[in-house]
């Protein structure tokens, strides 16, 4: 897997990683503070599907979409989802490079640890499939397929667990880097 390692090494310059990290988090902040609250203003306190890390069921989806009403479903489909179709790509690339950057600081950007850098890309792919499921569900409402709810749910859970695992690994690396710096 020299190709993966070489690709990462060519792209982990500090400024490039920082730029992608800031861009990714600007998009995330826009969703968190603008588009998600806009959709949730129609939800009567119910959380959006992609904000349910422990999942949801058919009844929850139906109840959420009914509560959102036509305007809320429109805001979800045409305001939140478009931005959430950009974010997974940025998340996958930038967080892959962030992890590679810190692994390289420990001279550990080689097998088997180099493969951990693929985790954010897997999370991004899961986020896309989750989004495809949500778009389908929104477009077919009030007919909500149990199979499509399950499809979307599986990718919501993969995204959530992968994200949690990624940040645990990243925090662990940062703690190790801090300890190494303090020892010097």
Residues 6+ apart with CB under 8 A from 167: none
pLDDT tens-place string over residues 111-156: 999 999 999 999 999 999 999 999 999 999 999 999 999 999 999 9
Domain carrying residue 169: 2-183
pTM: 0.93
Distance CA 85, CA 144 (A): 22
Flag whether pLDDT at 64 surpasses 80: yes
Closest CA to 38 of 5, 96, 90, 77: 77
Count up the domains in the chain and report the number.
1
* Cα–Cα distance for residue pair 75/68, rounded to 1 Å: 9
């Amino acid at each position: 897997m020299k190709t993966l390692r070489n690709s990462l090494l060519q792209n982990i310059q500090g400024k490039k990683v920082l730029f992608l990290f800031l861009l990714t988090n600007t998009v995330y902040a826009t969703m968190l503070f603008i588009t998600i609250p806009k959709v949730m203003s129609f939800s009567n306190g119910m959380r959006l599907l992609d904000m349910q890390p422990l999942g949801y069921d058919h009844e929850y989806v139906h109840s959420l979409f009914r509560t959102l009403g036509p305007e809320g479903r429109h805001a979800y489909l045409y305001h939140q989802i478009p931005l959430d179709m950009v974010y997974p790509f940025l998340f996958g690339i930038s967080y892959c490079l962030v992890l590679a950057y810190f692994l390289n600081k420990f001279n550990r950007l080689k097998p088997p640890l180099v493969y951990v850098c693929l985790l954010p890309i897997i999370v991004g792919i899961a986020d896309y499939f989750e989004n495809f499921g949500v778009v389908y569900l929104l477009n077919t409402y009030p007919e909500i397929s149990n199979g499509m709810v399950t499809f979307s749910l599986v990718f919501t859970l993969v995204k959530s667990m992968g994200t949690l695992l990624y940040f645990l690994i990243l925090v662990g690396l940062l703690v190790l880097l801090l300890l190494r710096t303090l020892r010097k």
